[in-house]
Structures are given as C-alpha cells and as structure tokens.
Amino acid sequence: MKQIIIFLAILFSAVGAWAQDAKDIVTKTYKVEGNCGMCKKRIEEAAFVKGVKRAEWDKEKHLLTVTYKPSKTDDDAILKSVAKAGHSSEKMEATEADYKKLPECCQYKTNTCND
C-alpha cells in the first residue's frame, strides 16, 4: 500500500510539473521579409535562439511563427537574430550591411528571385 501511495505522489507531481511547463510556452507570429527556400532555412535557423521550441516561416505569406519559453527569450531577441541574418521584420530592421550579405536571390528588396 505504501508503494502505491509513493507511486501516485510521484505521478501527480510529474503531471503537475508538465502542466506548469506547458503554460510557460507561447506562440507568436511576425511578418518577416524573404523570397525563397534558402531564406526559409536562414530565417528559421536564425529564429532558433535559446528558449525557442519551434520556428517556421511561410514563404507565401512571409510569416514567421515561433513557439518559445518567455522565461528564456523574448520577441526582441528572436527578431534581432533574424535581422542579424539579413531579414527585416515588422519590429526589427536588418542593417544594410547584413542585408547585403544575403545571396542575390535572397535580397527581397529587389524582387529578382524566381523561386
């Protein structure tokens, strides 16, 4: 009987910890400029800073959806990393120097990519 009580106590504490963790995760969407599959890969990798669980960029809609733990990162850190990779967002502009490092196809201001 004592073993069953101990087992149940451990089980309930584990479920409680998991439920607490799930509440600490948020999902947000940002408009991020880009053109092609190479942009998608670069944007998603740049968005994957510490605390980010998932990052996905929609090439057609130019939307980056990020799931992250606010206790470990925030919008500014994620979008700053994306801007450093050369891609501007609605909240953070990429510097001209970072933008110019992009391959020609990925330079979204010129609209020259056919991908």
Tell how strand 26-31 and strand 52-58 pair up.
Answer: unpaired
CA distance 5 to 66: 40
Question: Which residues, including other chains, have CB under 8 Å from residue 37's CB and lie 6 or more apart?
Answer: 59, 115
Domains and CATH numbers, the chain: 25-106 (3.30.70.100)
Bigger pLDDT: 2 vs 35: 35
pLDDT per residue as tens digits for the range 72-87: 999 999 999 999 999 9
CA distance 66 to 45: 11
Supply the pTM of this predicted model.
0.78
Are the beta carbons of 101 and 81 closer than 8 angstroms?
no
